[in-house]
Structures are given as structure tokens and as C-alpha cells.
Chain A
Amino acid sequence: GESVGLHLPTLSVQEGDNSIINCAYSNSASDYFIWYKQESGKGPQFIIDIRSNMDKRQGQRVTVLLNKTVKHLSLQIAATQPGDSAVYFCAENQRIQGAQKLVFGQGTRLTINP
């Protein structure tokens, strides 16, 4: 069935470096995508979202890129900090017959090395 997946399950970067987390989606009808951050023992925290009529959106130290041609989503985190260590999930908002739900990828664990 339709799904959202991640290319890399784990990613380690040096503190201060930039990181890129990738996500592939298969439902071409989805028009809204979200990145969440989940720290150990906590619920997912909203980071940034993007609508399908956009290619790029920037937040504080984070940028989300959407490539609809290849159904690819990425999250860029600039100047990584120890507090960025977490599992990052991409999610796709699927709408079917008026109902909607978020479909999450499996997650990528980002580790920031001091």
C-alpha cells in the first residue's frame, strides 16, 4: 500500500555540522508533509511543514525541501547541536474520501557527536 519511507535509519554528524535527513513518499495525491522530532520518552514534536505547492520552506536552523517529481522530502538541520539528537519522522497527510490521516515513516535516528 501507500507508504512513507526513509532512506537511512541512523545518521551521525559532528556538532556544528549540517545534517540532511531524507524521506521518500509514494502517494502522489498527498499535498501536505510534516517533519516531527521525537526525543526519548516524549511524544513527537512538530518541527516544520510544507504544502505541495511549495518546493522549500525555512524555519529556524531547519529547511524542508520537497521534490514532487521524484516524491522526495528532506529535512536539513544547520549547525547541529547536541539537543538535535533524536528520532526524526516525516509524515504525509493522506486524504481519502474526505477523511484524512497522517502516515509516518519509520524514522531516522540522528546522533550529534561532540
Chain B
Amino acid sequence: EAGVTQSPTHLIKTRGQQATLRCSPISGHTSVYWYQQALGLGLQFLLWYDEGEERNRGNFPPRFSGRQFPNYSSELNVNALELEDSALYLCASSLAWVAEETQYFGPGTRLLVL
């Protein structure tokens, strides 16, 4: 069974541009989570989607947004890119949004903002 997949693997943008990152969850998983992992830091929670709805949001500005599609795949959009947005963006999926559902991670998209 395929795991969580993310595209692209690498993305290079310049300040002020927009970035779109994509995630496909494990088949059967309805919840998708996004995390930011800046160099040398831990994972910071960004967004959580379940059944097409945004369920929770981390402490990030509104220029970080996303959506979940009917097939449960998800997009993360980052507008007006800043240098400090350079990071590894990780997507995870879980079977449902009930508590204690293990999140399984994809390989991430490495975003570099120049």
C-alpha cells in the first residue's frame, strides 16, 4: 500500500511569490495535517483538514492556507513568500480525526525562498 506522497520534492521561489504544495494521503485516510520543519528545528503544526473542512490551525499568519479535495488530497498555499518560509513542509494523514489516530508522514517538500 502506498504511503503519503508529496509533490514537488523541492521547490525554489523568490520573495513575494506564491508556493503550492500537494499531498496525497494514504488510501482510506480522511485527515490530512501540514507541518513546517525549519532547519534545525522541530515540527510546527500548520493545518489540519478532515472531510474537506479545516479543523485546526497552528500559529501561522493567514498567508498560509490550504484546502482538502473530495478525494482527501490536500494543497498548502503560501502567499507572499518570505525568506524565513524556507523549510521542509511535511504532510501527514490519519484514518480519522478522533483522538489517538496515528499520523503517518510523507517525505516532505523542501521549499527554498531566495
Which residues of chain A have a CB within 8 Å of any CB of chain B? Answer: 31-32, 34, 36, 41-46, 49, 51, 89, 91, 93, 95, 99-107
The chain A residue with its CB closest to the CB of B108 is A43
Given A99-B48, A100-B48, residue A43 in contact with residue B106 (CB < 8 A)? yes
Q: Are the CB atoms of A103 and B102 closer together than 8 Å?
A: no
Question: A interface, by DSSP: helix, strand, loop or mixed?
Answer: strand
Within 8 A of A (CB), among B24-64: 33, 35, 41-45, 48, 55-56, 58
Query: How many residues on B have C-beta within 8 angstroms of the other chain's C-beta atoms?
Result: 24
Known: A89-B42, A105-B42, A107-B42; 20 extra A-B contacts, CB below 8 A, are: A31-B100, A42-B107, A43-B90, A43-B92, A43-B108, A44-B105, A45-B105, A46-B102, A46-B103, A93-B100, A95-B99, A100-B48, A100-B97, A100-B99, A101-B56, A101-B58, A104-B35, A104-B43, A104-B44, A106-B42
A20 to B100, CA, bound (A): 24
A41 to B102, CA, bound (A): 21
Which residues of chain B have a CB within 8 Å of any CB of chain A? Answer: 4, 33, 35, 41-45, 48, 55-56, 58, 90, 92, 97, 99-100, 102-108
Q: Are the CB atoms of A49 and B102 closer together than 8 Å?
A: yes
Residues on the B chain within 8 Å of A93, using CB:
99-100
